[in-house]
Structure formats: structure tokens, C-alpha cells
Structure 1
């Protein structure tokens, strides 16, 4: 055994001990107070991958490589970072406690060098493929600095392979000639609820091979391979290959004596095989049978270092769940914890002295030699690998002259104008869409900027002189990444692109367009991207029952509420294109901010932190007002609302609306205003920002800042107490229904609560009670003093 392998094995043991002790300390030693629930921590899942992570981090990886660590290996990851000085002891002692190291690796909550957050299983796997695509995209741009290409590595639990998003991204990777990606499957054949079905590897290998991946099966460690070379070793290998997963796990848990009895009973021949088995003590036999490829540092280093190409590669690494711990092999070990008695025995076996449980080198023979080794590890040689990138100048907002236009079409035209007239901003924009590029109005942008591919691909229709509105030419200069119909892929790509400034040191401004109802199809990946503090713009369009002929399957209801509830995402729904232009101009700057998070006491929003942006747009062309340029209007749009029609001092009715229903509201207000002069119309561009500012101001008031007032507080403060607010939106009425709680005004929320159907816009607006007639009827009943029960009947 080489000196390097000896040191890696020492580190392997030290990391395993620290990870297991961290979990044990949190569950059995640290005071819990009144908390009775188990803290948890996945000792067995950590043990199965410790060899893989030791080989990678201390021998194979380079600084430019990026790793998504399987969620349940968090203790191993933090132990590695602790050895390298990137994690604090106090946080380790507070594992899964407030302010301690996180349950699963987190870019935003942990202090150590997390490349990609993981937690929702499967997503951390998929994002590595899209991060590689973004790395390729950046490498081919003239403005990018030259940097070495890194491997995007995912450490995958075998049970994660049930996640559909993993297989969705395989096809996308094949289409985009994926490279520089390694997926390492921790094939311990156990999951939370039991043991993995037989032969999973036989199903996985052909799938990966079909999409052009190299498959490396790491089944046997060096001890097993040496045994196979001995007389009778072929019979032992055959038995191992045919042994069912459940039996292998059970025998692992039972130990050397059980292995001996079973092997002698099934393959003992009173000859070479028996002699081979008898040449091992019980302890040695147990070690031999546990010496699988993924649990053998020497085999792992050899396999990893043998890869001499950039093709995507999957390693199926056979491991033992709970390896080297008392939990090894037991079918209940996923959520299991070592008891105090088991931990005492484990501590004795590992050779950790009392009082040295948290020492970095409590298992190391020569601490100085190990420290010297760590100081020279390539992956950590340049320190933590979190980059920053300069902000991109946004320039002036776009103005359009259209008198009648849909907000979706306005989005396309604004983007096209940026492409024509703002090279500084436009060169950093990258767009993408899940096969709805044309129908979400990205055509103009793509025609100007082209589609991205590492190798040029001509537009055959253009070459054949066949007329087409689309100019689909692929080249390394292209700025649109074509995707298939898979919204999880869309949000994973946006998540990867939106981290480019931090992961690759180059600023991108990603924009994704998707049919609004299908935001929900990618919601887990959207949440995952926001949790990592990725920065992007997502455009959901068309939206609502306004997409009338398409029927209920394509008409969104609850996406406004998604926008309001999703952390890290500022949601807007403008009615008019001058509003949209102001929002997009602000959004490109907001996506680049990285402030401390102190609230702006004008709105109580934490805008200086920045974030991602969601635009909910419509296909319905509506008449546009004269283009509004004044700063007060723009500020109101960004803050979330402005008075379209200022209410008078005796206002009985205020109509607050969001989105494309603006013409219905304006018509209704005009009709009501014929005999009610003080009526007000509140144009809400962002229920999300209004609500966030309001709740933040309430918190500030509870903490003693009595004068804390949000934007909506000030807007509604001028209304008399007897005023009724009618809210209207093409979406769930709860979007604006909370406005009555701001100052105690009676509120009648109008909106859509049930799946739509096909029809005209007029038909559906009338059916759901969000047209001008319905609004007028509600207002008339309010003025007449009818009870709320009657108002519900009118709606």
C-alpha cells in the first residue's frame, strides 16, 4: 500500500468518526430542552459514502471542479470542511441546531464551501448537468476570461435514482452534447423503507449508455480482487455476484461468523473454496465481504484517475450502508442512530480517547505528516471557491409606441429592443424555454441572438429558402438554450445559470419563459433554485382564464399565490407595457444585488439583497395608456401599486385589481363613477411585494417601531373607514383578498377559484364574475347597503 493510500485511509477513518460523533452528540449529548423529537442525522448513509468522498476531495478533485453532495452525506461533507479549516467547531457541535451546520449542504445557510445546495433528492444531481452546459456556454463567449474547465460531480444515493427529474435531464444532456459531468452512485442497495430491488444496476447501465455516458461499475475492492485470484476465488466471486441484496445486507449486519457459516454451507467444497474461506479469521472475513469497490479508497482512486476523457461518466459504486459502524447492513439503518452503548463500542474500535472526540486528528498516527498532506491537496489549494462578478450596466428602460398590445407581446418587444440597442446588457442575457419559445414571444430575441450549441448547425429551412418567421441557427455565439418539454429542466437550468457569477465568476442574466400553469410542474426545482439564491427572471405566460379557448388545462389559477409565497422571488403581474418596461428595467438590476438585507423603511422590503423575478403575463391585447415616464409612477409600479384613479375623501368604493382585467375595472369604475365621484382605482402590479412589505412593517411595529408603514399602509390610509374595497384579478381571489386587513376595510374579492373551460374571454369573465357587469353589480349592492351574504350571491 502506497503512502498516499495509507494517509487517505487515515483521513477516511477520521472523517467517519467525526461525522458519526457529530450526529451522536446532537441526539444523545447536547441538551434538548423541551424538544422530544429525534434530531436525526443519517450515520449509516454517511458511512456508505465516506470512502468515495475521501478519494474525491483529497486525491482526485481540482479547484475548478464543483460537487453536489447527496443530502444525507452532510455530516461527512462538514467533517471534511472542518479538517480543512472551512468549518467551525461550535457549528459542528450545533449540528441541526439553530445557527449550526445544516441538515443538508446549503449554499446560503452553511459557512463552508458548498457548491450546490441539496436536500430535495434528485435535484442536486440534475443541476450538475445544467451547470456543465452553462460552463460550456460561458467558455464560448468572447467576454469570458479563460479558465480551466471543471468537472460537475454529483454524489448520488441509489434511492435517488427513482427521481424522474434525473432521467429527464439525461435526454437534455444528450441533445446538448453534455461533457465534464460525473455522477457517482452510492450503490448501498438500501433506502428509507427497505432494500433496493434486485438488479437495479442492470436497468441503469443501458439507460446511461443509450445517452452516450460511460458506465464504470465499481463492485470489488482490492481485498476481494486479491481473493478472487486465489484457488477457489472464482466460486467466491460467483457467490457474491448472485447473492440477493437483502441477504448480503443481513449477513453484513450479523458479521464474520454469519458470513463463514453461510459461505461454507453454500459453496464449501472441502477443497480450494473451503481452504480459502478458512484462511480468514471471522474479523478478516467480515472485512473481506465488506470490501466492495465503493468502500475501497484504493479502488476508487484508481477508477477515478483512469478517466482520460470529458464524456459524461457514471460510476456505480457498490457500498455498505453503515459501513464500519454497528449499523452496517441493518434494513432499519437509514434513520437509525447508534445507541450510547453502540457508540461506546464504536469509539473503542476506532481508538478515540476520552475527551478527544472533537479533535481533528484523534485517529492519526502522525498529525504533522497528515497536515502537510492536507496543505497540498489540489482541491483546497486556492481556498474556498466562491466567486463574485462585476455588475452589468442596465441602461435606460425601453419605450414602445403600440396603442394596443398584450403584456406577453410587450415582453418580446422589450427584449428585442434590448437586443438591438443595448449591447452591454444584452450580451449577458441568456434565454431558455421548454419548447414554447415561439408561443411565449421569444422569437424576435432568438432571431437576433441565435441558439447556443458548441458546434454550428445551420437552419436548413433558411438554406433551402423556405419562408419561415423563425431563424433557428445554432452556434457557439447563440444566446438561447433550447429545451424540451420538461419544466424541471427549465428551472434547473435557470438555477445553474443564475449561479454563474458565484460558481464560474461570470455574470449571466438568465430569462426563462414557460406557460404559466406549468410553473407548478417545475415548482420543486423553482424552490430549489431560489433556496440557493440563484438569480433569474421567469416569465409565466399566457396566464389565467384569459387564455380562453385553451380550456382549464392551460388556464392558471393559483400561480399568483405561488409568486407570493415563494421566498427569493419577487412576483409581478403588470397590466400595461409601460409598467412591464419599468419592472424589467428594475429587475435586471435587482437580479445583480448582493446587499446585507436591511429593510428599506419606505416599503419595509429587503430589496438590497436582490433576488429572482417572476412575471405573470397575458396574451390578451389591451388598449395602452399614454406612455408614463414620471418617477412617482415607476416607483409605485416597483413597490407594487399606484392609484390609477385617486379616491376622493368620501370614497365608498375602491376597486383594486391586478393584471389583465384592467379594462374591465376601468369600464366598471367609469360606470360607477357616473353617480359616485369619489371612487378610486388601485392598480396593483405586485400583490407579492405589497403583502411582503405589509407583513414586515407589522413585525416592526410589534417590535416597538410604532411608525413603521409599508407602501400599502400609506396607500389605504387615505380611505374613510366606511369604504369597501372590491378586488379583481384573473386568478385566485386570495391574491388581493387580504387588502381589507390592512386598515380594516370591508373587502369583496373577485377572482377564479375553479378550473376553467373553453370559451371566449367575455364568456369566461362573465361566468367567473370578473367582468365589468359583475363589478358594477357588486358596487351597486354595496352602495345600496345589501348584506355580505347577498353580495356573495351576486358574485
Structure 2
């Protein structure tokens, strides 16, 4: 008779075992077999991967659809790579090179892995929270008249370790999700009750459950597997269940590690009754008893399928799945197993248990029966139906720079007017912009935009102040057509929202152009999430305003110092700090195009590789008004603004000193130049719009020369080539002086950098500029000190 086809549960159980073996072997091979030329620990997380093996196999092989998006628990990366390999989405060589250059990444990465990674993970907690914001963005997109609603809604799913719930950004996210009516979001918690440093506190489950219920989530607890539930139905089973329920976390873990004989001794001693309980235990061998006690809900495919498939509504749902860290391996339950690895003897023990022949460790179906049935099953897995799950959306055409007139103004005010001018149009650009801000919408000059474009909500909400005829400058209503997403005061949430909106084209097939505003010093409060968004190659514009000690009356807590250096050092982010409104108009117009670019470039050779590949943009703006320069915006000037700098007053062969400024100190630089000119000294003034762009172009040129290309010349080299070698240079910025101090190294000019290195305080702008030595008089003194040094 022909062999019966493998059932669904049986197939997933077999693939769970295979994913468990491959994940364990991947880490072992990387650490103990592959040559280690530098002797540095390779690492990996065999135990953390093992605890999620059944959960992940059940989801990927039984539940997920192509439109679903998943954030993997960072430490379960080996299991993820193994599953991708079994589905034909990851190469064997990538597994062999796990944690090596060009191999599968230590933590799943959208940009570094070739596997089907939806959300990068690694900084724990951020991937979890990101799924909630992705769900909100999906709702935003689907509410718009231009959206393709024939594409099915997906579930945004996070697989999280219980220790990840210590991260504060998760709870900030829960509050924001409650406010926005979160839907289609699942979080699956690997409740293994062990963290990096030990076993978690008793009673954690009650705290987790209570928090999620308070925020309107449905809580599904997966505590007992099918084997345990069957045992509970036997005579004496109620006593066994009661013992499991009251067993301390550390005791349960310790007994899991010790095995069946230890379970029998403990259970016999504590609940053995020479009657039904003893009989229940006696009917099982030591191995069977160990299997029974390890059959928690998070390891039982039958139970997982049952609960995942029962969650049919769009209600946000958290599955708390009881597991054992290291399940299915000799490390199971040991408190040191987080970073621990199996010894050679232990991996051989696991090999024998899985029937793996030496030399066949990477074979997809080694040690499994019915390989053809398993392959047929994998071919039919719903999640595996599409070759690529990454979507795309055409770029949105720009409408050109929106110049906003002359006269004294601040860059922050100009930003608001530029957005308002765009809001007045019926362009595709205007309809794809989405703004967001952590409760500083008005004070960052987004008010006019919101008045015209409204706030987003899935259901219409009346502005009661307007309905009651109470005068207000804020004519805001919540509507599905709205284009501003209101957030609370949590910068982590801002950058997670920008990351999610900035990936909408790839996740949901619709292009969005997100703009987020916040007070410039508070970029540091969301820096982890900003870095995370850039690492995913999300595309957005972040506007930090107001900035620097120019925000004089607010004091040191609101005055930024190091944010220009953040802009320079953050990969994936082009940073600008314009002084004048016409510069800002050019930069914003360019930014909308830059945010939508894609292409290949060699970062080691290209003059500015992101000009090909695109990226996100950071604008550092000010509330201080300065007189604008009446001028025509020529194409060469616009190009230089984008490249990072131009000559406001070019150097002559007799030039004695260059004053290079960035941002709002343009007025002080110009005044200082006039004072030095009165000393009959030749002075040049360099307007830096982006130290980031100038520096990166210069660095790229050095790399090109190292590769033998001597034809390259960076923009800053071209600008400074006409400055006599004897001339000195003063750099000045309302921020850390290191932002511009490197300019002296380009051509070897003596340089004195001025800026702000210490916390500010309250006062007038005049007071603080004088205190920090960045006023016109201080700049002039610095110039004269260089003359004396010649």
C-alpha cells in the first residue's frame, strides 16, 4: 500500500525539528568549525532560537499569508534563517557563513540579508513597537482615495522575547496604539521566563496580561500543550496541573535541564499519592515524562495552530506562549544558556537525536521521513507563494522650490510657509506628504499645513471648538482624508512612525513622503529609533527646530549642542542647516526627490553614493529671524547649496582669512567680515549649508584616491582651492565646533573653530552669543588672533 501523506500538524512538527537542528548547527559551525582568523567570539543564540522554533514554524508554515509582515525576535535569527532556507528563500552558503562577512546576519536585516526580512531587528523592543506603527500606516494608506484597496490587509506581527518587555518604548507604543484604534497587530511573546542574566521574577505574567488588557488588547495565553491537556484529563491530572501552575519559574527551568529522572523524583515527592497521580507518572518513562513537562503551549504545534487560527478579528492580540529556553536541546532550562553554546558532546547528542549523518548537516530533509511529502507541503505553504513580498510604488514628481519672499525671517517660519504653499496645490506631491509630530505641531510651524490638510483618523471627529464657535487659529478636524498624524510626547514613537511611513512603498505598495518635526535637542531622546529607521532604509524628512542657544529664553534643557554631529555621523541621513529661506526652499525640493531614489553605487568610490541610492533628510532649523539676501537663485548656486556650501564672499589671491559659518550665525559672520575688512584685511565668507554633505564628499574622494582614481575632486576641495595657503580660517556654528573644525584639514589652513561645547542657560541671544564666543566681536577677535600667528 502507498505510504499515507503527511498531515499538516505532523509536517509542521517535522519542519520544527529541522529548523531547530539547522539553527543549532549554524551557531555551532560558526563558532567551532569555521576557521576563526582573528580569535574574536562569533556568538549566536542557540537557546533563544530553540524556544521559538515551534512558534515560528507554525506561523511561517501554517498561518502567515504573503501580505503579513513579521518582526523577528532578534535572538531567534538562526531559526528565521533556517526557515527561509527550507522555503528556498535563503542559500545554504549564507547559513554556512552565518555571522561572517557576506553571510546571514546576526539579527534579521532588511538591507543586509538576502532573506525575506520585513523589519530589521536587533535593538530589542524596537522591532516589536514598529509593527504597531506599521499597522497604523496601513490604515492611513487604505483610507486614502488613491490607494489600491484590492490588495488584502496584512497583519503586522512581532515575535518578542519576554525580556524585551522591559523596554520602555514598548509601553509608549501601546498608549499610541490605543489612541489610534490599533488593528491587525499580533504580538507573540516567547514567555520562557529567562533573560540574559537569569530567571525572571515571579508574577510577571500577571503584570503583562494586565497591561495589555488595559490598553484594549485581546490576551491569549498558551500555557499547556496537547500532551499536557490530555494528561490533565487522566485521573490525578488535576493535581499535576495544580503543581505546574504553582511551580516557581527557576524550579521549572532547573528540572527541565536535569531531565526525566529529576522530574519523577520531584513530582513523586510532592504530589505522589500511591494512587491516580502516581499511576499517571508510572505510565510514562523518564523520557516521556520529560517530554510531557516540556510540552508547554509555545512548543505544541497543535495548540499554536488552534489559537492562531481562532484569532480571526482585526482586534490587536497578544499571545503569551509559555516556552522553555533551549527547548529540544541539551541546554534546555539552564540559567546560563542565553549566551551559552552546546559543547561538542552536546551537539553530538543533538545530532544523534535528530538522526543527522556526519557530512549531511545542511541537508534540508536529513533525518526526516517522507521528504517528498515535506517538499510538496512547503511548495503549498501560503506564505511561500510569491517570489518577492516587497512591493514598490512609482516616484512622485516634485513641483519645484516654493520660495517664500524676502525680509527678516527664520528658517523655522520659512519651513511652515513652504509647506503651506505646497498644501495649497492639488499636486500628487501634496497628497502624498504625511506629517507627524510629538505634540509640538504648532510650535514647529506645522499649524498652517494642518489647517489645510487636517488630522488623520479612521473615523471623522468634529472639532468641538469650531462647532461651539470658539475662536481658534487651529481649525483642525480628524478625518480619514487628513494628512497629519498626531502623536504624544514620545520621540521614540516619532521615529518609529517615520520609519513605518518611510517604508510604505515597500510594505504596502503606496508611496508616502513623511515629514516629522520635533525640538532639535530631543533628537537624542529618540536616537535609537532614528538609527533603527535609517538602518531599515526608511525614507523620511526630520525637521529639528528650534535649535541651538539661539533658543535663548528656554535655557539649557531646550538648547541643542551635539545634534549637528548626529546629522553628520548618522548613516542614511543627509543633514542640512541652512541660514536663509531660499536655501531651505531649494533643499526641501531636492529632499523630496532624494527620499525616493533607488539605485546601486559603490560606497567606497562614489563621490556621494547616496545621490544614487537616496536616503532620509535632516533639517536643523532656527526660530531666530535674520535679514534675507535679495538675490536670484541661479542653477549653479542651487547646486552648490545641495552640495553643502558656496561662497557668500569669494576669496581673492590676497585673502587673509576665511570665515566659514553654518546656519543662523550668518549675520554674525557677515558682520565680523565687515569689521575685519575695516582693518584692511582681505576676508572671504563661506556659507556652509551642510557640513555633512561636504565632509562625506571629501571622505569619498579620499577613498577614491586610495583605490587609484586621482581624477576625483570633492566640492569642498574645489571651494577652498582658491584660498591662499597662508590664509587662516575661522569656523563658527551654533552647535559643537567639531562640526566645521575639520575644514582646516582639507587644504592645510590654520583653523580656529568656534561653537558651543557646554550646556546653555537662559538669557537674550546677545547675552548667550557673547557668553559662548560666537558673536560678531568674538569672530573678529578670533580672526585677528590668526593674523598674529602668521
Q: TM-score, normalised by structure 1?
A: 0.98
2:632 corresponds to: 628
Is 1:347 aligned with 2:333? Answer: no
Distance 1:602 1:662 in 2: 31
Is 1:281 aligned with 2:279? Answer: no
C-alpha contact 2:160 2:190 (8 A) present in aligned 1: yes
1:679 corresponds to: 683
Is 1:782 aligned with 2:783? Answer: no
Distance 1:151 1:55 in 2: 15
Distance 1:20 1:221 in 2: 23
C-alpha contact 1:605 1:689 (8 A) present in aligned 2: no
Is 1:766 aligned with 2:770? Answer: yes
String of CA shifts for 1:403-444, please: whole Å, max 9, x gaps.
111100100100110111252101000000000000000000
Is 1:82 aligned with 2:109? Answer: no
Distance 1:237 1:320 in 2: 17
C-alpha contact 2:453 2:484 (8 A) present in aligned 1: yes
Distance 2:687 2:740 in 1: 11
Is 1:589 aligned with 2:597? Answer: no
Distance 1:402 1:514 in 2: 26
Query: Of the candidates 506, 524, 527, which is equivalent to residue 528 of structure 2?
Result: 524
SS where residue 614 of structure 1 aligns?
A: strand
C-alpha contact 1:190 1:331 (8 A) present in aligned 2: yes
Task: Measure how far apart 1:783 and its partner are.
Answer: 2.1
Is 1:59 aligned with 2:56? Answer: no
Query: Of the candidates 69, 73, 94, which is equivalent to residue 72 of structure 2?
Result: 69
Q: How does 1:493-572 map to 2 (within 5 A)?
A: 493-572=497-576
C-alpha contact 1:593 1:608 (8 A) present in aligned 2: yes
1:441 corresponds to: 445
Q: How does 1:11-160 map to 2 (within 5 A)?
A: 11-33=15-37, 35-146=38-149, 147-160=151-164
C-alpha contact 1:512 1:538 (8 A) present in aligned 2: yes
1:406 corresponds to: 410
Aligned in 2, Cα 1:599/1:304: closer, same or farther, shift over 3 Å? closer
1:297 corresponds to: 301
1:746 corresponds to: 750
Moved over 6 A (4+): 599-602
Task: Measure how far apart 1:629 and its partner are.
Answer: 1.4
* RMSD after superposition: 1.3
Aligned in 2, Cα 1:569/1:648: closer, same or farther, shift over 3 Å? same
Query: Of the candidates 698, 704, 719, which is equivalent to residue 700 of structure 1?
Result: 704
Distance 1:198 1:250 in 2: 15
Distance 2:632 2:369 in 1: 74
Q: How does 1:190-229 map to 2 (within 5 A)?
A: 190-229=194-233
Aligned in 2, Cα 1:602/1:375: closer, same or farther, shift over 3 Å? closer
C-alpha contact 1:604 1:694 (8 A) present in aligned 2: no
Distance 1:181 1:253 in 2: 34
String of CA shifts for 1:591-615, please: whole Å, max 9, x gaps.
0000112469894453111000000
Task: Measure how far apart 1:132 and its partner are.
Answer: 0.2
**Higher alpha-carbon deviation: 39-48 or 349-358:** 349-358
Task: Measure how far apart 1:383 and its partner are.
Answer: 2.2
Query: How many matched pairs?
Result: 785
SS where residue 753 of structure 2 aligns?
A: strand
C-alpha contact 2:604 2:703 (8 A) present in aligned 1: no
C-alpha contact 1:655 1:681 (8 A) present in aligned 2: yes
Task: Measure how far apart 1:138 and its partner are.
Answer: 0.2
SS where residue 673 of structure 1 aligns?
A: helix
Aligned in 2, Cα 1:546/1:386: closer, same or farther, shift over 3 Å? same
C-alpha contact 1:602 1:709 (8 A) present in aligned 2: no
Unpaired segments ≥5 residues, structure 2: none
Aligned in 2, Cα 1:440/1:47: closer, same or farther, shift over 3 Å? same
Q: TM-score, normalised by structure 2?
A: 0.98
SS where residue 643 of structure 1 aligns?
A: strand
SS where residue 424 of structure 2 aligns?
A: helix
C-alpha contact 1:395 1:422 (8 A) present in aligned 2: no
SS where residue 149 of structure 1 aligns?
A: coil
1:651 corresponds to: 655
**Higher alpha-carbon deviation: 379-388 or 573-582:** 379-388
String of CA shifts for 1:566-623, please: whole Å, max 9, x gaps.
0000000000010000000000000000011246989445311100000000000111
Q: How does 1:255-404 map to 2 (within 5 A)?
A: 255-404=259-408
1:241 corresponds to: 245
Task: Measure how far apart 1:528 and its partner are.
Answer: 0.2
Task: Measure how far apart 1:720 and its partner are.
Answer: 1.0
